[in-house]
Structure 1
């Protein structure tokens, strides 16, 4: 009654926004607030230069947040909107708050992670020192295994792992230097540089461990190759006998030539010298065996399922060995092997991985043998690259001094610190490995500007 007397009406209830919009606004506001806090912490620890991107992201996020609140204000004012208009305004709020989250959350989380790493630096250094000791304890074991390999296999057969103990030892020395640098930087309050040195040390330990594993794994692979060679020899002799029976019934010039070639390959594979490089011997024997098989298949169309299965098993075992050898050559010498060998290896792995999907045994055998051929070609190309790298290093040594250094005053530097003239075979392996570890990490900027970092392996 009194409202009517004084000309006033009961106020209308305020419009309400959906729960989704309300939650999005609160979440976006909290994201900006926490991002601002993180920017302050990060700037104190890493400086304004490193945090420029986060600062710029927060500036954009605040603009988006203001727009979200403006749109929400339109939803709450006294001006009525149609359902379609309200839907558009709500969608605008959700879109701008989502952009706030996208702008801030990633960069802020990255700095939070980096700050956590700084806090954990002493613990990480202690852990990596313990890992370094464990890996260093395996070097002597790897040298002993390599000595055994040297007595059983030819120099060409073990080229992939011949330098691995020396390379691992050099990497461990570098790890110790990196950890020492990390400690000094952390003590001096230069935490970001300490974190970078810790990352480099961790990668060096991992690489050294892989090099030592490769020696042991190679010994196992070589034993498997010898076992496979024995099976392939027996199968090839059986093929020769069968081919001669076929020739007795119906002479054929091509089959006769292929039989003689396989017979020669079998005789060569049975010698002691051939056993010193079972991988190469297997490749040659496989090629001769495949040539005879192809000609015999053309002459005979009867089912050969059982025989094909036996061939397939041997071919796949051989392909596995060939792929493993090529992979080891490339992985252990990333700085010295080129794209050709890597392409062949990728093709071989793809074919070998798809053999189990082939239902026809003959097609599967062909695919397995093709994979082995490609892997063998990859290994040959990798060896070519390694030999070229070795020749280049020898030329450099002849130019800069007979001992492989950069002169008498710098014999412990990159040119010859643990290399030329002191028992390294070829001398190019360690530089290739260290180049792979340091090229993209240290030289690319991880340790740029660290004035007291010394890469010499004294």
Structure 2
């Protein structure tokens, strides 16, 4: 889903314009009326009640004052009151003119051209185009990194993987053969990170000038195009390195099958780990890996089918088709590994949080006592931040006593509640902040990697910023944690809105729907897996029709 990027835009209403016009007309009418009144009242013998007109000035309330005015003072009142009304009308007109002048000289809000200039075309099309560029470039980088890992593994595999499958005379490749492609992926990752940084600032309203914002969107497109170019220019050499349509096919197949068997063997252990977590922790502690085992099995089912088809195609003399099936199987195997790794990663994180929580609690209480002593105020003053911290610490200790609690969530609440206190740059709270940030980034990255066929640019942008903040100082780690969790929420919404990608040709239990959702198969290209390369080359592994 392409997220809407128009938040924060100022929507200018025409209502205030009509109000100013009405005010001006009302003031002018009042002036005319009071100019006419002296003519109408001249020559009368009776006293004339002077009624103060309602002046439409800012902050003025309608005041009606009736008093007896002697006849000889009528001429003075007739002169003063029209002058007041005329002055009010002039003030309103001047105020409206001043507002127009200030708006003309001030920077226009995003998406709106300054007065006196030709209005720029709506930026929504450019925003959506840059969002698509980010998604495509991110997919290209992720796929390229994924296939590079398989290429390195198959080229450097030991004899236990290659014997019996490799073509005689094929020697293991050294690291230097893979290094140029590693550099290409790293360069593309650098360009993509810069593009995400521009997009993050753009979403925050920086820059503010319409022309500068258009340049920023163009800069995003340019960075993404450069990332794709660096991968595209290496795609041909990468294919020559792998030689999947020649002597490299069987070694690559053997390595993929070995990885498949390894993950198949790990699946029961991951199931047991998840069952153990269900006994020790509440459902909220396991929500990030809910359904991971089932989705891992789904990817492995898809990989089984494609590995079999790859071998059949190779035996039938259709190496191009075999390479396409192998590439799809490799991607599915990689995603199955991500699902299983996430389960084991969560288990390790929960254990580390459980061990760290008592130290974080003690450190927070010590910092709280020091802050209260230095301020000379009681720590538990009602409504104070210290009182709120007291409540958080008390609630967490009660949860600890109950025995069933989410240690990661409890740790997050302790660190956030104690954030205003001194310290926290080292010690238990700092270790807790890093643990939380790394875990949240890992969860979000795993979800995007395995659902990239549906996740849009906004979630990926927040994830990229969270990943960047991991390398910053400890004060930024809580922000990284918050951004990564927000990225996960947005990614899940994208998947829900995307719906089931399965088509009519998708067979139940084949895993094709999950492969489309995971971006293993390219949208709009029938049965074509994503391969190493940029936008111009990633779809080159289209399956060929086998010879008759």
TM-score bracket for the superposition, by shorter chain length: 0.5 to 0.7
- Show CA shifts across 1:412-454 (max 9, x none): 168xx79xxxxxxxxxxx83885233337627745645679xx
Cα 1:140–1:447 change in 2 (3 A) is same
Cα 1:328–1:338 change in 2 (3 A) is farther
| 1:165 equivalent among 274, 283, 293 | 293
Cα 1:153–1:406 change in 2 (3 A) is farther
Secondary structure at the aligned position of 2:302 is classed as: helix
Q: TM-score, normalised by structure 1?
A: 0.55
Q: Where does residue 192 of structure 1 map in the other structure?
A: 320
Question: 5 Å matches for 1:281-360?
Answer: 281-291=410-420, 293=421, 308=423, 312-334=426-448, 335=451, 337-355=455-473
How many residues align structurally? 297
Q: Where does residue 529 of structure 2 map in the other structure?
A: 442
Q: Where does residue 13 of structure 2 map in the other structure?
A: none
| 2:478 equivalent among 372, 392, 406 | 372
Q: Where does residue 143 of structure 1 map in the other structure?
A: 271
Q: Where does residue 387 of structure 2 map in the other structure?
A: 260
Q: TM-score, normalised by structure 2?
A: 0.47
Secondary structure at the aligned position of 2:283 is classed as: coil
- Show CA shifts across 1:288-342 (max 9, x none): 2123x1xxx6xxxxxxxxxx3x652323322222222222322222235544444
Give, in whole Å, the separation in 2 of the partners of 1:391 and 1:315. Answer: 38
- Show CA shifts across 1:57-93 (max 9, x none): xxxxxxxxxxxxxxxxxxxxxxxxxxxxxxxxxxxxx
What is the RMSD computed on CA atoms of the aligned residues?
A: 3.9
- Show CA shifts across 1:144-196 (max 9, x none): 10111122233333222222221221111111111111122212222122122
| 2:351 equivalent among 209, 220, 223 | 223
- Show CA shifts across 1:324-361 (max 9, x none): 22223222222355444443443344334233xxxxxx
Counterpart contact for 2:445–2:463, Cα < 8 Å = no
Counterpart contact for 2:313–2:322, Cα < 8 Å = yes
Counterpart contact for 2:458–2:487, Cα < 8 Å = yes
Q: Where does residue 88 of structure 1 map in the other structure?
A: none
Kindly state the Cα deviation for residue 204 of structure 1 after the two structures are TM-superposed: 2.1
Q: Where does residue 170 of structure 2 map in the other structure?
A: none
Question: 5 Å matches for 1:412-423?
Answer: 412=508
Please, which runs of 5 or more residues in structure 2 have no aligned partner? 1-232, 531-537
Q: Where does residue 405 of structure 2 map in the other structure?
A: 276
Secondary structure at the aligned position of 1:442 is classed as: coil
Question: In the alignment, is residue 207 of structure 1 matched against residue 335 of structure 2?
Answer: yes
Q: Where does residue 362 of structure 1 map in the other structure?
A: none
Task: Give every structure 1 segment of 4 or more consecutive aligned residues whose post-TM-superposition deviation is greater than 6 Å.
Answer: 105-108, 251-256
Secondary structure at the aligned position of 2:290 is classed as: coil
Kindly state the Cα deviation for residue 222 of structure 1 after the two structures are TM-superposed: 1.1
Secondary structure at the aligned position of 2:465 is classed as: helix
Give, in whole Å, the separation in 2 of the partners of 1:324 and 1:184. Answer: 43
Cα 1:241–1:179 change in 2 (3 A) is same
Question: Higher relative contact order by CA 8 Å / sep ≥ 6: 1 or 2?
Answer: 2
Report which of the two has the higher share of helix: 1
